């Protein structure tokens, strides 16, 4: 974000995040941005993507600074993210302080709540409601009278554009005030979560989007933000992916778990990134086009691909179950060791780096899995 007196060029996904997917040329960084609907590709500077004029600008009242929110993001999120990114990728760091954990959650979860995806969806709904009301009103009548969100709304036919603009601005101001509250509440809510950073091996690069944070339940399809079973997934760069797991009562949650994942993990993660995007998929030049090629290539129903995807699905479900056991008994417990012992006998966990790390960690604390 710019740090001028009037920063109207406002990034909802900060350049400090996007730069980790970008190609550097002299003092600038560039990404490929592919529009999902048309597959149109643009080669853009990170300065010119995920940006919207006046998105966070507050109404001018008295002597207040209308750019307070934009400057807050610039100082407390955008400038802090490089330190968070460095911490997450530092393989020597397995334990973090409470302050560091809060900063990780605070910066990365902001990428979910500050995106205008939900604002745009509500604006589209407003437009459809207004257009439908005009369509259903007798053409001889100039006055349109409807019930809008529980309140009467009256306007003339030649005022349609003006009323839409007015309602969009009201909607933007509601977005500004409410997203901050949800963001800070959610960061506090997720504080007892477990965090993992996965490194991807193979020839498939991770991509990101204009809405890079994917939140979904591990056990049900219906979405609720404060669902305790939610898992949060965020691509960090072309090779690293962050998982935020459901909350746990285990004492030792101030740690970063690390693991290795294969190309099938990258494939499914990229597909989830595409599905959660609003309009644009973003990546290092060449990687987004390859993403579409990979989805077609590996989407073929051959025996090898089906087996790999089935194994990955089975592992994901079993790991969620293991987390539940850890929540009830503590991570370093005989109950967890017994589960890991069962996993070691399963074909889907053959050569699994994360399971091997669990075996070693449990052994260090006296719990054998053989």
Tens of pLDDT, residue by residue over 86-97, are: 999 999 998 899
Beta strand 193-200 with 256-261 is: parallel
How much is the pLDDT for 362? 85
Q: What is the pLDDT of residue 300?
A: 56
Confirm whether 367 is domain-assigned.
Answer: yes
Task: Provide the pLDDT for residue 331.
Answer: 76
Contact 137, 99 (CB under 8 A): no
258 belongs to a structural domain: no
| 133-166: pLDDT as tens digits | 999 898 888 999 988 888 889 999 999 999 999 9
- pLDDT at residue 40 tops 70: yes
Among 40-44, 132-136, 361-365, which is the least confidently predicted range? 361-365
Q: Is residue 177 part of a domain?
A: yes
Condensed to tens digits (0 to 9), the pLDDT of residues 238-273 reads: 999 999 988 776 545 788 888 888 888 898 889 889
Please give the Cα distance from 129 to 127 (Å, whole number). 6
Task: Name the band, by pLDDT with cuts 50, 70 and 90, for residue 72.
Answer: very high
Q: Phi and psi for 329 in degrees, rounded to 5?
A: -120, -10
Which pLDDT value is given to residue 81?
97
| pLDDT on residue 317 | 72
pLDDT score recorded for residue 3: 44
Answer whether residue 180 is part of any domain.
yes
Mean pLDDT computed over 13-19 = 96
pLDDT at residue 250, as a whole number: 58
Higher pLDDT, 287 or 348: 287
Token pair 């309009």 is at which residue? 279
Residues 6+ apart with CB under 8 A from 301: none
Average pLDDT, the chain: 87
Q: Does the residue 179 lie in any domain? A: yes
- The rounded percent of the chain whose pLDDT value lies above 90 is 46
Beta bridge partners of 257: 196
In a domain, 264, yes or no: no
- Give the number of domains in the chain: 2
Average pLDDT value for residue range 48-68 = 87
* Domain C-terminal end among 133, 150, 184: 184
Q: What is the predicted pLDDT for the residue at 303?
A: 62
Per-residue CA distances from 292 to 16, 25, 270, 282, 306 (Å): 26, 26, 10, 12, 19
Range with top average pLDDT, 25-29, 102-106, 150-154, 357-361:
102-106
Residue 1 has pLDDT above 60, yes or no: no
Say yes or no to pLDDT of 285 above 90: yes
* Within-domain flag for 331: yes
Q: Which domain holds residue 144?
A: 118-184
- Residue-by-residue DSSP string for 297-345: HHTS--HHHHHHHHHHHHHHHHHHHHHHHHHHH-SSSHHHHHHHHHHTT
Instruction: Give the model's pLDDT for residue 249.
Output: 66
Higher pLDDT, 322 or 281: 281
Residue with more model confidence, 361 or 302: 361
Q: Look at residue 166 and tell me if it is in a domain.
A: yes
pLDDT band at 301 (very low <50, low <70, confident <90, very high): very low
DSSP for 247-307? Answer: E---S--SBEEEEEE-HHHHHHHHHHHHHH-SSEEEESTTHHHHHHHHHHHHTS--HHHHH
Structural domain ending residue among the three candidates 184, 203, 234: 184
**Residue 136 or 323, more confident:** 136
> How is residue 347 written in tokens?
């074909």
Q: For residue 82, give the H/E element and its range.
A: helix 81-89
Domain termination residue (choose one: 136, 153, 184): 184
Higher pLDDT, 362 or 31: 31
Give residue 302's pLDDT. 56
């Amino acid at each position: 974000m710019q740090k001028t007196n009037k920063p109207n060029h406002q990034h909802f996904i900060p350049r400090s995040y996007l730069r980790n997917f970008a190609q550097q040329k002299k003092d600038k960084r560039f990404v490929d941005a592919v529009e999902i609907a048309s597959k149109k590709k643009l080669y853009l500077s990170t300065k010119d993507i995920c940006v919207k004029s006046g998105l966070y600008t507050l109404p001018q009242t008295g002597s207040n600074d209308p750019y307070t929110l934009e400057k807050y993001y610039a100082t407390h999120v955008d400038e802090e993210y490089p330190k968070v990114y460095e911490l997450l990728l530092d393989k020597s760091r397995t334990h973090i302080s409470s302050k560091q954990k809060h900063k990780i959650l605070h910066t990365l979860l902001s990428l979910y709540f500050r995106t205008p995806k939900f604002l745009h969806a509500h604006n589209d709904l407003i437009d459809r409601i207004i257009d439908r009301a005009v369509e259903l009103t007798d053409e001889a009548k100039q006055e349109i009278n409807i019930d809008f969100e529980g309140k009467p709304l009256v306007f003339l036919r030649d005022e349609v554009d003006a009323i839409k603009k007015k309602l969009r601005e009201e909607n933007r101001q509601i977005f500004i005030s409410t997203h901050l509250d949800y963001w800070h509440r959610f960061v506090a809510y997720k504080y007892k979560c477990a965090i993992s950073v996965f490194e991807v091996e193979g020839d498939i690069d991770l991509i990101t989007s204009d809405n890079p944070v994917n939140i979904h339940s591990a056990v049900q399809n219906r979405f609720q933000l404060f669902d305790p079973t939610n898992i949060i997934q965020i691509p960090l760069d072309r090779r690293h992916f962050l998982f935020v797991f459901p909350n746990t009562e285990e004492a030792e949650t101030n740690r970063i778990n690390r693991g290795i994942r294969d190309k099938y993990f990258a494939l499914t993660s990229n597909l989830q990134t595409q599905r959660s995007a609003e309009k644009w998929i973003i990546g290092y030049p060449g990687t987004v086009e390859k993403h579409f090629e990979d989805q077609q290539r590996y989407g073929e129903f051959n025996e090898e691909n089906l087996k790999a995807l089935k194994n990955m699905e089975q592992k994901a479900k079993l790991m969620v179950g293991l987390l539940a056991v850890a929540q009830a008994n503590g991570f370093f417990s005989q109950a967890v060791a017994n589960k890991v012992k069962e996993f070691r006998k399963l074909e889907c966990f053959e050569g699994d780096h994360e399971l091997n790390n669990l075996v070693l960690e449990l052994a260090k604390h006296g719990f054998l899995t053989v």
